[in-house]
Amino acid sequence: MTMRVVRGTVASKVFAVVAIAGVVVLAALPSWGSISLQRKMVELFTLLALAVMWNLLAGFAGVVSVGQQVFVGLGAYSMIALVNVHGQNLYASVPLSGLITAVASIPIGLIAFRLRGSYFAIGTWVLAEAVSLIIILQKSVGAGNGVSLKVKGYALATRQDNSYWFALVVGVGSVLITYLVLRSRLGLQMQAIRDSEDGARGLGANVYRTRFLVWVLAAFWTGLASATYYLQLLRVQPAGTGGAFSVVQWTAPIIFIVVIGGIGTIEGPVIGAVLYYFLRDRFKDHQTVYLISMGMLAIAVALWLQGGIWGTIRRKLGADLFPVRRRLVE
């Protein structure tokens, strides 16, 4: 009997074809969809990217942060500073904002990674608040009152289309990057460290360096997603409803998305983001019903679907749409 090592399955190969076709259709959305639909999709792709990056940290690397809003805020205000203060090109400022956020995440991480466990989670929240206070003191970016992005010279229709395509790349790219990372040596180390930090260290894994690399990667992509979102929204404010540094606006929803969909899976955040956005959009005029439905969903998942929606499906069917594990088959 001859055995061989494989990763893909029939289900994953079929899904890959369907996914590619779906991305092609989504890429052509500006030609057949409405402006309203484009705006909704930008928000959905942004939530997806943020959730996938948090899942990469918490679900695969074991780094539970509740201060991810700091990278959202840094991405948004970096773009404001680049465009409004330094007169940089509007679209070139989007990836540059991601880079600035990644660089800023290094000193933040050097402080946060001195903490462990629940202290780390709380520490990231405190650091996010500290950074937001620093931003509020900067008069050049609104001094806490909010500031609008200067977009003179850019046609509205063109900006809407470009914002959508940026968001599509950010959303789909976050899933693809996670998949590629998990198939790499870095991904193997991440998951080994998550499962047993001492065991991984004993096998030669550099725990601190591995987690720090993932931290910077997540910061970069979160800042990129934030800049893309505010490229469409045009106005940034640090706190309150829609605030760039708001834990309620950003970190709480992305944690909910990941937990509901399935933490530690690639498919989970995708399912969770679609479900969360559908419920929020459906009950946006009925805040009480919305909160009750979200609470009931969270309770139902906690009681009957440990591992989230996709975690339960994978456990029942043994299906992996994004196979990263090697299998020995005949």
Residue 6 bridge partners (DSSP): 327
- Are the CB atoms for 308 and 263 separated by under 8 Å? yes
153-209: pLDDT as tens digits:
788 888 899 999 999 999 999 999 999 999 899 988 998 998 888 888 888 888 999
- pLDDT for 327: 67
Q: Inform me whether the pLDDT recorded for 224 exceeds 70.
A: yes
d(CA 13, CA 4): 18
Q: What is the per-residue DSSP string for 24-36?
A: HHHHTHHHHS-HH
Give me the pLDDT at residue 159, please. 87
Please, where are the H alpha helices in 137-155? none
| pLDDT for residue 32 | 87
Instruction: Put residue 206 in one of left, alpha, beta given phi > 0 → left and psi -120 to 50 → alpha.
Output: beta
Tell me what pLDDT residue 5 has.
65
Work out the angle at residue 109's Cα, subtended by the Cα atoms of residues 111 and 139, and round it to the nearest 5 degrees: 85
* Torsion angle of the four alpha carbons 29, 32, 35, 40, in this order, in degrees rounded to the nearest 10: -40
What confidence tens digit (pLDDT) does each residue in 55-105 have? 999 999 999 999 999 999 999 999 999 999 998 999 999 999 999 999 999
pLDDT digits (tens, 9 = 90+) for 7-38: 677 788 889 999 999 999 999 999 888 889 99
Report pLDDT digits (tens) over 232-252: 888 898 877 678 998 888 998
Of 242, 247, 259, 248, nearest to 297 (Cα)?
Answer: 259
What letter represents residue 53's amino acid? M
Please give the structure tokens belonging to residue 140: 């050049």
Using DSSP's 3-state secondary structure scheme, residue 71 falls into helix
Euclidean distance between CA atoms 222 and 71, whole angstroms: 6
The letter for the amino acid at 160 is Q
Whole-number Å distance between alpha carbons of 92 and 98:
11
Please say whether the beta carbons of 232 and 44 come within 8 A.
no
Q: What is the mean pLDDT of residues 114-123?
A: 91
Token output for 63 = 């780094």
DSSP 3-state percent helix, strand, coil across the chain (nearest 5): 70, 5, 25
* Count of beta carbons in the 10 Å neighbourhood of residue 61: 26
pLDDT at 51 over 80: yes
Whether pTM > 0.85 for this model: the answer is yes
**Bridge partners of 328?**
5
The structure tokens listed for 122 are: 């709380």
